[in-house]
Each structure stands twice: as structure tokens, then as C-alpha cells.
Chain A
Amino acid sequence: MDQLTQIVIGGLVQGIVFAIVALGMSLVYRVTGIINLAQGGFCVIAALGYYQLSQVLGWPPVAAFVAAAAGTTVFGLLIGAATFVPALSRLPNSSMLMLTAGLLTFLQGLTLVIWGSQPYAVAPFSGEQPITLAGVRFPSQGPWIVGVAAVVVLGTWYLLTRTASGKALLACAENPHAARLMGIDVSRLTLFSFGLTALIAALGGIAVAPIISLEFDTGGFFTNAGFIAVAIGGMSSLVGSVGGGLFLGVAEQLAAGYVSSLFSNALALALLLVTLLWRPQGLFMPRRTRRLDVREDVRVYRAIVRFRGVRAAAVGLVALAVLIALPYLVGEGGLLSSLVITGILFIGVLGLDVLMGYAGQVSLGQAAFLAIGGYTAAILATTYDFSPLVGTLAGMAVSLVCAIVLSLVTMRLRGAYLALATLSFGLLVDSLTVGLNITGGPSGLVGIPSFAIGPYSFDSDISMYYLVLGLIVVLVAALYGGMRSSFGRALQAIRTDQTAAAALGIDVPRYKMAAFAISALLGSLCGSLYAFDFHFLSPEMVSTPRSFEMIAMQVVGGEGMLVGGLVGSALITLLPTIFQPLAAYKTLAEGAILVLAFQYLPDGIVGTIARWLSAEETPKPATAQLAAKGQAP
């Protein structure tokens, strides 16, 4: 009984931290409708800032606390003003979600550059001795955490329900257009809420730092826990955030205490999936029905780029010729093997483009299929002596089954909820690759043979290069035909208006599943080739950060064009290779590229070029033609 109480206490303390992060996320969500994935990053920066000030520079704890919290808030305001707020009026919701993922990556990269990758231990505020109260032991930091949480919760509650600014904040979430018409400065309030959540994150991060191991990627841990908590509890509810956080904390600690920590990860994700499916509005919120006969109000849509015809074909052929000749221009060595990786990853990005760029289904778990394909093929080839080709095909079969199940399970989910469900699937696969014995655990699998078809083994970089290039040409050609005919149009219809698509006879579930299947098959192929090329496979190569990286490749290159991802993949894969000193800054650069690409290059690099080259053919807004006709719109 005593052990149970200890575990529950530990769970509650954890849970309070989750609740604080969840509260910040809920606040931004209530004002903007976006889930801010960067939340956890601010926690870590504040915590490490506090460490720097109090333990390295020797400031008194109170001063360090205030300075770190204030500094992080100011930093948050600057970032929000530069990226989040201006982008909010220009980007659709799914892109905004990815923008915050880019911000998280950027913050993690910044942390990595400043503080390196080692873990840090922050001293508790009031000494190391645990407190004993009524025979139960609390960590000494416990009361501080509870105190900070109480301030945050009460402060937020007071703000939202008792002040005029609070009501204005809520109005922004309901209907930003109407709010503006009422004289509410939506941009300023959005910035205010962004800064406020940075403050909340800072307070929570500093308060909890002494009881966790603090590393540059702990931000990801906070973000994950926070959004699971807020999704379980209810995204628009104060009570929900707190309740969800506490519930999650206790559940995880119980699972970790009585079973294993691998199980506790899996349990958290299973809870999330169950909530999303059974009660998507959260455990603490009333059900909210959506009107189907009116299109969902979305702020912004992607503009159309159409680059076809003779000119496009010419450009394509030239590009292909360059790609064929490339190994001879580049010579053997590091650059060539990086090019091979570029091509292999592009195959996975291609699948993602079909799912996200065309069908509009947000997937934050593409790397899970890389893992499934890679590990299935590698295990079959090493332990069971199957040929690499059979292993690859087996991996694709397993991925296909997983994709069908995942698609069925998430069929009713849209937008942020779908993103969360795919993310939790990805995290689940992450913990399996690390926790299971058959995958070699954290150290991975070694001695993976080269890819081979029959007797021919693709040992050299050059042979792999041409294999991958051949595959890419075949895949792009096959998909191109499908995307520009009724199959592709059906996907695009589903992307923007599922109800109207169904009203025209499109079997929406079937097409969504097809898009998921294509992305899974290509992801699996990508993962298998990656393993055979590297002769080694570890969880980090195919884990969730890779999912975000692939989305970055897709966005930077250009969504919805199939070939855009190739440029994105090249940029992100080759940049650190070409500029060796940049390697340490890789994460920082990736985050910055993702954020900047979303903001200033919504069409991506290839999209912008295609738009420029097809200037006469590009669909213009109707105003020009209507003016010519003598009519006003």
C-alpha cells in the first residue's frame, strides 16, 4: 500500500507538470485553433537558463528563477511576433501545426548548440531531502511544483473568465473575422497568448527541472506529454488540461511501476488513441457536433501551381539527364553516398506527398513505416537469411497491413486529431524499436547485407545510386499518371471538402485508405533500402524526428507536385555534408528551414520555380478576366 501511494504521489507530481504544459497548449488552441508543438522547447530553454544563471553563474535562486522565466517569455514573444502570428493569417491549420513542429526543432537545435547534448542536473529549490508528511514521502521539489501549478491554473482561470482581455481571447478562437469586426486586435491578442504560454512553459519547466534529467531533446518529451494530456482531457478546457495531465501522470507511473517503462509509453499512446476514437472532444468536455451541410471554415487554402506541357517535359528531361550523369561529376566518396541517401529518403517523402500533399491527411508518423520496413527486412536478412528482396517485400506487406488498420482506426479523425493519432502511432513504433530484443534495442542491428536482386548484389554506392534513381523514375512516372487523372482529383477533393466529395459519389474511406497504403508502402521501401544501404539500422535512424524531417523536405521542396520532395531531401540531407562545420548546427538549421519555408515559400522551392516558369499558364485569379469582361466580382 505504501508503494502504491508512493507511485501515485510520483504520478501526481509528474501529472502536474504535464498539466502545466497542457494548459499552455490549451490556451493557444483556444485562441487560434492550433496546437503549439513548440511548447516543450520553451520549458527546456527556461530550465537550462535557470541552470546557467543559478549554478554556473551563481545567482541567487529567486533572481535566477525570475530572470529565466522573464527571459524565456521575452524570447517567446519575439519568436511569436516573427513567425507564429504573421503566419497565422497566411497558412492553413495543418501547415501551422508543422510550423510549430519546426519551431520545436529550432528550439531543440538552439539548446543543442548552446548547451550540448549531455544531460544536466538542476538542484532542487529547497535541498535534496525528501519531505515526509503523514508517513508518505514527497520529493522536496513537490510543494514547489504544486505551488507553481496553482499559480498558473488560478492565474489562467482568472484571466479567461474575469477579465475583458480573457473574453476577447476566447472570441478570437470562436471567430477571428467577427472578432476583428468588433474592434478586437486579433494579432496582438494572439501574440499575447503566445507569450503567455511561453511564460507558463517557463514556469513549469523550471519548477520541474530538479526532478528530471534535462537534455536538449527533453522538450520533445514535454510536448508529447502535454498534447497527450490535453487531447485526453479536452483541448478547450482548463479543467480538461489539468485533469488530463494528472490522469496521464498517474497512469504512466502506475504502468511503469508495476509493468515496465516501455509499457508505460505504450499505455500513454493507447490511452490517446482510445480517447481520440471514443471521445475525441476529451474526457472532460461535452460533445460538440459539427454541421456537415456547410463547409468547415478554413482560413487559407494553398494556391494552384500547374506546370505542364512541352516546357515542363523539357525541364524534366534535362533534370533527369543531370541526375543520370551526376555520379560521374561527383566521383566516389562521401558526397555520392549522401546522394544515395537523398534518393532513398525521397522515396519515403514521395509517399508522404501522396498522403499529405494530395489527400491532405496529416501524418506525423511516416518514420514508423520506415522502421517497420527497415527492421522487417533487416531481421529477415540477418537472422533468418532471407534474400534482401524478399525481406523488402515482406516489410512492405507488414506496413500495408499496419496502414490499413491505422486508416480504419483513424477514419473519422481530421486535422489536429488525425495528426495526433499518427504521431502517437509513430511514438509507439519508436518505443517498440528501442524496447524489443528482436530489433537489437537501442544499439540496433549490425551486419545487414547489401541489397540484392537474385545473384546481383548492389555493393557499391554507384550501383545503389542507379538502383534508387531507377526506382524513383518508375515511381514518379506511375504516380504522375494517377495524380493527374480522376484518382488524383478525388484525393484533392477529399483534401478540401470530404462531404462535397462524398456527395459526388467518391467513396471517401476507400480513397483515404488507398492514400495511406501508398504512403506506407513507399515508406517501407525507403526504410528497407536505407537499412541495406547503411548495413546498419538503429532506432534513431527511423524515429519520430525523421517524420518531421521528411515533412520538412516535402514542404521545402513543394507539396502536391510529386518531385518537390527531391529538392527538399537534397537540401536537408546534403547541407550538413557539404558544409562540415554546419553538422553541429544541423538541428537548428532544419528547424529554421522548416519555419522559414512555411512562412515565405508556401509553394516550396520547386513550386516557386514552376510557378515562375509557367507564368502564362498558371491559373490567375478571376478578377483579371472579369475586369476584361467588364464585370466586377
Chain B
Amino acid sequence: MGEKQKLHELILYVAQRMEQDQHVGRGRIKLAKLLWRCDFAAFWRFGQPITEAQYQADRLGPAPVDELLALRDLENAGRLELLNEWDQQQIPVATGEPPNLDVFTAAEIALVDDQLRRYQWVTARTMVDEAHEFPGWINAWRGGEGKHSPIRFESVFWDNRTELEPWEDEYAKVLAAELGISS
């Protein structure tokens, strides 16, 4: 399988399904958020992402590093068009040779379909807002200082909260007493 082939085919499949299912806000931003959702959900569930893409901290949340390049490759191959809408949002539309789903396992396709259903009526804006709550992005972005920093797949293991739960502080006191840590 060629380098980035799975990213290419996933982009085409997601673009095709967003159009077929008439997704709300089916532009490039939503495409990037869906790719992130699919790859990180796959890492959580299967232990590895679907595509070969690496992700970085972008202003609008996690984004595949090679997304723009992949879109250009697909455009040059006549398999994708980016249509300019009235609001200047670019709509990716799959054209020509359809996505090759043979590069994916059945479980991967089921996971992608699940994400597509889940976000069908969710706007790109809302997906961006959700992405801004993802701890992997928050820590990589660091208020803009970490622009384009890599986001590790393992950040799915980070529990998304900023406040202690009551049991944690109680246990911290027990631990401090047992280990002779002064309070």
C-alpha cells in the first residue's frame, strides 16, 4: 500500500458520505475534524489509527499534518474537487474513481460510519468547539505558543477534566501521611 493511501481513501470516503448524507456544514473544516475523530477513536478502540496521518495543533483543533497536500494530490488525480461556496467555505466533493474501501478493515469502516452518523447534524463550528476541549490539543496548542506541535495519539488516555474529584484529595492526604510528605 502506498504512503498516505489510507488517508487519501478516507478523505474521499468522508467527502462522499458528507455529500450523500447532506451533512450540516460539510466543508474542509468539518472534514479535518472528522478525520481526527476517526483516527483517534480508532486508536482508542483498536490500538492504532486508521490512516498514516500525524496530527498537529491547529487554531481550529487537531488537524492532519498532510491534509492540504493530500487534498492537492487528490485534486491533481481528478478524484476530488474543492468547490467554493458563497461563504468562502470550501466543500470537498469526491469525483472520478470512487474511494477504494478495500484498504480498510470492516471494523474501521464501521467506526467511520459511526462517526459520520454521530456528526451528521453537527456543525463544523460545534466540532471545533469540542476539539478545543480535547486535552491533547489544549496541551499542544498552549494558547497559540504550540502552533503546529504534534498531538500524540496516546492523548486519548488523558482524562478530560481540570478539577480534582473529592476522593482524589482525600487519597492525597492519606498518601502524604503514609509517605511522610509534609502538608
A and B: partners? no
B-side interface residues toward A, CB under 8 Å? Answer: none
